[in-house]
Structure 1
Amino acid sequence: MLALHSRSGTAANGGAAKPQAQAPATEAFAVLRLARRVWAVAAIHAEVQRLQEAHQELAARLLPGDRLVYLGNVIGHGAATIATLDELLAFRRDFLCLPGVEPEDIVYLRGAQEEMWRKLLQIQFAPGPREVFDWMLRHGLEPVLRGYGIDPAQAQAVLRDGAASISRWTNSLRAAIRQHPGHDELFASFRRAAYTEGGELLFVHAGIDPGAPLAAQSDHLWWGSPSFRGLAQPYAGFRRVISGCNPRGEGAHLDAFTCCLDGGAGFGGSLNVACFSPDGAIVENFAI
């Protein structure tokens, strides 16, 4: 069972309020329409075996009207980058074969690892690209590079050579990604956040800044906010905000208006998966 450490309070009951300053459905934000329930998968960190087992469990539990959100950090830290992305694509095909399922019913959020990866592909524009690259390596991206056959030491040498050389290197990195069918498209599909169309549930990677509207959220989505867990009232009308990674190392928790599913996958912990009803309650959950 999913070990969620709860504090006092429950999610608000009653009719759903429309989120204030609701971000439109764009390539940045996904809207989960006609969702009876929403399954959320915590940070995976390239632990492909746990992901495969979680998918087997999910396949046995999915019901008509269920939606599925991966909460970011599907890559990073763990060594099985390629196998993890291939497993995500394989389960996507299976999920889309279910009766009534549409492509927008499955969503992948961009976590801190995917955000670093996106910026790596544009690192020629960064001030101090070698320092930025070294920081990315220390924060989990080295196994991703090695997964695509890229030697980090060779890359460090290129990063001393100027923008033109770095651009050629990032182009070669894009070419390496395209060697794996579906990977480029999967990376392009990652969203900043997702929410149910009635404004009941908001899904993010690591947290939010309670003082900013959804459309203005930036790094707090990927690196969290110390004030996220302490929400004393619903954020922008959402009954619950669900995250998949806890950068502060506090693990999973269930509070009055927030929930974090991080079980520590990739760091010796479990991969947590939970299913939410529109009122914010957890109706099913499991840990692998």
Structure 2
Amino acid sequence: MSDAAKSEMGQPSLPLATDARFAILRNCTRVWAVASIHGDAERLAALHAAMSERFEPGDKIVYLGNYYGHGGSIIETVDELLRFRRLVLAQPPYTHPDDIVFLRGRQEEMWRKMLQLQFAGDCDEILDWMLKRGAAATLEAYGGREQQARAAISEGLLAVSRWTGQLRQAIRAHPGHNEFMAGFRRAAYTEDGGLLFVSTGLDPVRPLADQEDGFWWNSQGFASLSDAGYGGFAKVVRGFDPAHEGIVETQSTLSLDGGAGFDGVLNAVCLTRGGAMVDQLCV
């Protein structure tokens, strides 16, 4: 059956299974979804401790992006994410690596652009824009300095390229961090089309495969899904809300951001593949 036919029947039109930008959660009964962390390693460790007591064989985990930015413990946050992943994968029965998904949030998207700053049209303007939106904390965490970036920009693109190369070397100095960045997905969904996980939002009129930056910046698009839903999914779940309003559920959506990294709390929920909330953590 064609994707168009599925859409007419109320089932989601999904990206091809070979599209590595998206994660597919297979043989799914329960999924844990973790809200934006923003460098709050202490709350993340507490959340993991509580989750480990409630985790059941076969559970999946989707981290909904924004591990970087704002908070003061970004290196420690990534280390804790990698530690808990190893712990879960080591528990019998065997958990497949694809059952633990890390989505790319707006902070990770900005960090990706920071590492490619030499390709920006106006390096100074792009740098200003990112630093004002939380990327300064990530830059400092990996040993970068705004003054160094400004000096490189004044010298020209070759100097900027050398500067971003130094940032990449700093990332590689932390075991697992480079591989962590390389594994980010844009969105995740259950293979039956029941649940869709995004970082911030999406464009309600675009197919999933054509969302582009909407996953990180279209929070208004997410708000418009509260009644109409999107693409036949039973529930669309996001991790970042610019207003940090906590766990907010509507008929078709679930927003989790409690303000971790902004002196707020870190939320996680456990969902059935039909979208029912069966457990909830708040630390």
TM-score range, shorter-chain basis?
over 0.9
TM-score by length of 2: 0.93
Counterpart Cα distance in 2 of 1:257 and 1:56: 30
Q: Which amino acid aligns with 2:119?
A: F
**Larger relative contact order (C-alpha < 8 A, sep ≥ 6)?**
1
SS at match of 2:160: helix
Contact 1:272 1:287 in 2 (8 A): yes
Counterpart in the other structure of 2:97: 103
For residue 247 of structure 1, report the CA deviation from its aligned partner: 2.2
Within-5 A mapping of 1:52-71: 52-71=45-64
Determine whether 1:186 maps to 2:173.
no
Query: Structure 2 residue aligned with 1:271, among 266, 269, 274?
Result: 266
Counterpart Cα distance in 1 of 2:153 and 2:54: 48
Q: Which moved more, 1:129-138 or 1:187-196?
A: 129-138
Counterpart in the other structure of 2:212: 218
Query: Structure 2 residue aligned with 1:156, among 150, 164, 172?
Result: 150
Counterpart Cα distance in 1 of 2:25 and 2:152: 43
CA 1:189–1:262 in structure 2 vs 1: closer, same or farther (change >3 Å)? Answer: same
Q: Extract structure 1 runs of 4+ deviating beyond 6 A.
A: none
Contact 1:130 1:160 in 2 (8 A): no
Counterpart in the other structure of 1:129: 123
For residue 163 of structure 1, report the CA deviation from its aligned partner: 1.2
Within-5 A mapping of 1:1-288: 18-98=11-91, 99-231=93-225, 232-288=227-283
Contact 2:200 2:222 in 1 (8 A): no
* Cα RMSD, aligned residues only: 1.5
For residue 24 of structure 1, report the CA deviation from its aligned partner: 3.0
For residue 234 of structure 1, report the CA deviation from its aligned partner: 3.1
Q: Which amino acid aligns with 1:45?
A: H
Question: How many residues in Structure 1 have an aligned counterpart in Structure 2?
Answer: 273
TM-score by length of 1: 0.91
Contact 1:210 1:235 in 2 (8 A): yes
SS at match of 1:159: helix
Percent identity at matched positions?
Answer: 49
Q: Which amino acid aligns with 2:201?
A: G
Contact 1:17 1:200 in 2 (8 A): no
Counterpart in the other structure of 2:3: none
Counterpart Cα distance in 1 of 2:216 and 2:243: 12
Contact 2:241 2:255 in 1 (8 A): yes
Q: Which amino acid aligns with 2:276?
A: A
Contact 1:27 1:189 in 2 (8 A): no
For residue 26 of structure 1, report the CA deviation from its aligned partner: 3.0
